[in-house]
Structure 1
Amino acid sequence: MRTFEIHEARRHLSRLVQEAVDGDPFVITRDGRPLVEVVSINTPELAGARRTGFMAGEIAVPPDFDRMGSTEIESLFDADP
């Protein structure tokens, strides 16, 4: 496994983190002694998670949903200041 002194790792942190994410972990050292190992965290892919429709059948949308409150809204525009 590759090792980097802490000062060198600080200068190249963005690149090193991306390499760890891509599967190339590394160790950060201070004065030649290992401090931490940087590895990618395996997170589940969100592509498989589906949120759309998770409440199907739980709520009902009235047929006049797009016209609800239209009379009140129109009266606000017609009112004189």
Structure 2
Amino acid sequence: MQTVNIHEAKTHLSKLIEQAVQGEPFVIAKAGKPLVKVVALNSLERSPPKRLGFLAGQIEVPADFDSLGAAEIEQLFGGGDLP
């Protein structure tokens, strides 16, 4: 992947954008430190969609999940003695 400094990117922006559209992303750097990656928008659409809830029905959250370890946490913060 090509890395260009900011000045070079400003000077050759049209050419660099055309390369990105053709599938050649590039990185813009400042003082040799990478700042941003430029990629064509259609290449972002090719990534697989995030799968929310893909473990639904395979795991079970305990009913007392919100209070698990409450006694220990209270003791650590100056509460009563541990059982």
TM-score, normalised relative to structure 1: 0.51
- CA distance in 1 between counterparts of 2:42 and 2:25 reads 13
Secondary structure of the 2:40 match is coil
2:30 maps to amino acid: R
- CA distance in 2 between counterparts of 1:35 and 1:19 reads 19
Q: Which runs of 5+ in 2 are unaligned?
A: 46-83
Structure 2 equivalent of residue 34 of structure 1? 34
Runs of 4+ in 1 over 3 A off after TM superposition: none
Structure 1 equivalent of residue 10 of structure 2? 10
Secondary structure of the 2:42 match is coil
Count of matched residue positions in the alignment of Structure 1 and Structure 2:
44
Q: Percent identity at matched positions? A: 55
Correspondence 1:15-26 to 2 at 5 A: 15-26=15-26
RMSD over aligned CA atoms reads 1.6
Secondary structure of the 1:24 match is coil
Displacement, 1:7? 0.2
TM-score, normalised relative to structure 2: 0.50
Q: Which runs of 5+ in 1 are unaligned?
A: 45-81
- CA distance in 1 between counterparts of 2:32 and 2:42 reads 28
Deviations 1:2-54 (A, max 9, x none): 1000000100000100100000000000000001000000188xxxxxxxxxx
